[in-house]
Amino acid sequence: MLSTFSAYPKGMSSTFPPNKASVFRIGGNRATLAPRMSIAPHEKPLEPGQQAALEDVLRGLHRDLRDMLAVLPVEAQTASGLARRLKIERTTCQRAVSAATQPFAGLALVGQLPGVAGLTSLVESARQCWPRDKDIQESAKRLRAAVDEYAEVLRRVAGSRAKLMSRINSSHTPHAAQPDQFDAYARQLFEAAAALTGRQSQTWLAAHIYEPCERADRLMQTRAHGLINHVAREDAVPLTFHVFNTPPAGEASADDAAELGRFHAIGDAANDEIPQEVLRPFSTDPPPVVRARQPNEFLVQTVDPATGSRGACDLVFGLRGLMAHPLVAAPHMEEVWALINFPVRWLLLDVFLHRDIARRCVPGLDVHLWRPDFASTVGERWQTRFANGPRLEVLGGGLRQVETPAFARHPELLRYLFETRGLDPADFVGYRCQASYPMWRTGYRVSLDFGEPS
């Protein structure tokens, strides 16, 4: 499948640096995650039964920590915001938020989390900070029980956190690239991929806006995606875009159940060659010729230059559609994917959540190796996930912090998307994944974990 943009029909919105070492960024703060534990086998390895018991406890602790963060006010869901509200050590908050907003790491979670004392302090401070908030009090109670259970297993298995970490890492781990090598490797991969495929872009961008609907079990999503300054050789591998199926005009009303998961164009009226999905104000004029067809649930668009030689072009698509709220069905998670089919210098993915939606979920970000069964369930993706997580940046409310070197007109594009729906950007909280030389043939995932329905 040759695609720069790919979408899956249920629970996944397909869109879009390898970060330096293990640096996680959220809310404007940078926190260095725990490095890979020492490989020196100073302690006896864990027995299989001990490993299973510890992993079971850690899984529950990870879940309850995510759940508590999800019910906190939006401004307290970042490391700096949490430290300010709880008046506890920032490092404790950074480690807790970083561990909670990444996928469950198994036994490696021991090295990512604060110690038992730090976790206990976080829970008790949250209880004192919001004494009348029933949801926070109940979540804190569950988390405290999970922390106590973890402390008991830690004491029984190893006696101390340091000894437990040594026992976990008693086996040899492969040599990893040093932090200062990542940028060089990423650029080398970009240059090699461009030479092999015959295509490259300055920027691949996407922006998703989620807003509530009158019905509590549905959300409206408006999005744009595309390539900026894309160039190709005459013998380049064909370029295609895969997006959600767009029904003919008037086929179904916005309140019809048949509309769920079906996306409509928000662009200007087009001609026989150029579909309405192309956003003409942000695409090369004339836009590249696009031939469209609809196999299965996807609209596949093959892109060629409008006329003449294969010069640089911009091509941006815009869509809007109704979707089921993630709380309707397990695993209660929305996923926004960036699948890197062709080499790009910049990856730019923005997700804007209405504040009413943002209060219900915990955002996360990770990167996966792309393979044929990429549409596997969330629980199976541990097999493809890179250990070093990418970065997630909180843009805050409105569009004050959306400028980027990846695309000078990006603030203009975002304003256009909000205006098409008559929305006030101040009512939304923005999150961003921005990377230079993102890894070719990988998928960057922004996850919105809504936890269990209340």
Euclidean distance between CA atoms 83 and 77, whole angstroms:
10
> 226: helix, coil or strand?
strand
pLDDT value at residue 402: 96
Whether the per-residue pLDDT at 262 is higher than 60: the answer is yes
Taking the C-alpha atoms of residue 57 and residue 42, their distance in angstroms, rounded to an integer, is 24
pLDDT at 40 over 60: no
Q: What is the mean pLDDT of residues 204-220?
A: 95
Strand, coil or helix: 371: coil
Mean pLDDT value of segment 414-424: 96
> How large is the average pLDDT for residues 188-208?
95
Dist CA 450 CA 71 (whole Å): 10
Q: pLDDT of 127-171, one tens digit each?
A: 999 999 999 999 999 999 999 999 999 899 888 888 888 788 764
- Given this model, what pLDDT does residue 272 score? 59
pLDDT band at 274 (very low <50, low <70, confident <90, very high): confident
The class (CATH top level) of 28-168 is: mainly alpha
User: Does residue 173 carry a pLDDT above 50?
Assistant: no
Binning pLDDT at 50, 70 and 90, where does residue 58 land?
Answer: very high
| pLDDT > 70 fraction of the chain, expressed in percent and rounded | 75
pLDDT of residue 146: 95
Residue 37 has pLDDT above 50, yes or no: no
- Burial of 219 per CB tally in 10 Å (0-12, 13-18, 19+): buried
Reply yes or no on whether the pLDDT at 389 is more than 80.
no
Q: pLDDT by residue (tens digit) across 330-339?
A: 888 899 999 8
Number of H helices, E strands in the chain: 10, 16
Q: Provide the pLDDT for residue 273.
A: 65
pTM of the complete model: 0.66
Q: Which pLDDT tens digit goes with each residue over 346-372? A: 999 999 999 999 998 989 888 988 876
Domain boundaries, the chain: 12-18+180-449, 28-168
Q: Which tops the pLDDT comparison, 425 or 4?
A: 425
Looking at residue 15, its pLDDT comes to 40
Q: Exposure pattern of 387-400 as b/e (b: 16+ CB <10 Å)?
A: ebbbbbbbbbbbbe
Is the pLDDT at 252 greater than 70? The verdict is no
Query: Chain centroid to CA 320: how far?
Result: 20
Report the chain's mean pLDDT, rounded to a whole number: 80
Q: Which residue has the higher pLDDT, 170 or 256?
A: 170
**Sequence-distant (≥ 6) Cβ neighbours of residue 373 within 8 angstroms:** none
Cβ burial 427-450 (10 Å sphere, 16+ → b, else e): ebbbbbbbbbbbbbebbbbbbbbb
Query: Which of the 8 DSSP states describes residue 142?
Result: H
229 neighbors 222 (Cβ within 8 angstroms): no
pLDDT band at 33 (very low <50, low <70, confident <90, very high): very low
> Does residue 189 have a pLDDT over 90?
yes
